[in-house]
């Protein structure tokens, strides 16, 4: 009987860590996370499973406080120096249109088909509101943004 020897080298450590992080998001949160191997990053696809809204940091802080006070806060990403991203349930509309005042204040919907880059760790400081399985409704986050910008 012949012995078969695997001559393929193991996957690089960074790739194994990325795959492990993806599995962690999927198993713990049920999110449809994908790996962009060429960019060495994890992404979350916006679409029928979930939505995302971005804000300026100043508006993001106020909006998060508003949602927390109402018991409706969901996961929020805030990479250093970047825009805040509120993960939400999916929008009921394919291409929702936000009020002009929200856009002028720097509040934007992430369109379906786009992606949100995720940190490789659920415990990183980029999460200003920890990731959870439940997501607030998209419309609730928009209403909160309208309230804090009055």
Model confidence at 90: pLDDT above 70: yes
Q: Would you say residue 5 lies in a domain?
A: no
Which residues constitute the domain of residue 62? 45-148
87: which 2 tokens? 């993960």
- Cα–Cα–Cα angle for 88, 29, 89, nearest 5°? 15
What is the arithmetic mean of pLDDT over 131-135? 93
Q: Name the pLDDT band for 69 (thresholds 50, 70, 90).
A: very high
The whole-chain average pLDDT of the chain stands at 94
The total of structural domains in the chain comes to 1
Q: Would you say residue 24 lies in a domain?
A: no
Provide the total of helices (H) and of strands (E) in the chain, helices listed first. Answer: 4, 8
> Exposure pattern of 68-87 as b/e (b: 16+ CB <10 Å)?
eeeeebbbbbbeeeebbbbb
Q: Would you say residue 1 lies in a domain?
A: no
User: Taking a C-beta distance cutoff of 8 angstroms, is the pair 120, 109 a contact?
Assistant: no
pLDDT at residue 138, as a whole number: 97
Instruction: Specify burial of residue 62 (Cβ count, 10 A radius: 0-12, 13-18, 19+).
Output: middle
Rounded to whole angstroms, what are the CA distances from 119 to 18, 58, 63, 140? 10, 21, 22, 25
pLDDT at residue 9, as a whole number: 82
Q: Would you say residue 106 lies in a domain?
A: yes
Stretch among 102-106, 113-117, 121-125, 130-134 having the lowest mean pLDDT: 121-125
Model confidence at 1: pLDDT above 70: no
Q: Would you say residue 90 lies in a domain?
A: yes
For residue range 6-21, what is the model confidence (pLDDT) as tens digits? 778 889 999 999 999 9
| Residue found by looking up tokens 């250093």 in the block | 80
For residue range 2-55, what is the model confidence (pLDDT) as tens digits? 677 777 888 999 999 999 999 999 999 999 899 999 999 999 999 999 999 999
**How many beta carbons lie within 10 A of that of residue 119, not counting itself?**
16
Q: Would you say residue 50 lies in a domain?
A: yes
What gap in Å lies between CA 127 and CA 90, rounded to an integer? 20
Q: Name the pLDDT band for 101 (thresholds 50, 70, 90).
A: very high
pLDDT at residue 3, as a whole number: 73
């Amino acid at each position: 009987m012949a012995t078969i020897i695997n001559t393929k080298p193991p996957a690089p450590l960074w790739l194994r860590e990325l795959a492990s992080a993806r599995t962690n998001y999927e198993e713990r949160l049920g999110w449809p996370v994908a790996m962009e191997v060429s960019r060495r990053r994890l992404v979350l696809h916006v679409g029928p499973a979930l939505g995302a809204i971005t804000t300026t940091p100043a508006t993001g802080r106020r909006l998060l406080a508003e949602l927390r006070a109402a018991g409706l806060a969901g996961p929020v990403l805030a990479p250093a120096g970047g825009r805040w991203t509120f993960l939400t349930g999916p929008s009921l509309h394919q291409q929702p249109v936000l009020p002009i005042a929200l856009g002028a204040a720097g509040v934007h919907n992430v369109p379906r088909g786009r992606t949100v880059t995720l940190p490789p760790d659920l415990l990183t400081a980029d999460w200003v509101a920890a990731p959870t399985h439940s997501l607030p409704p998209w419309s609730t986050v928009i209403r909160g943004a309208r309230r804090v910008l009055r």
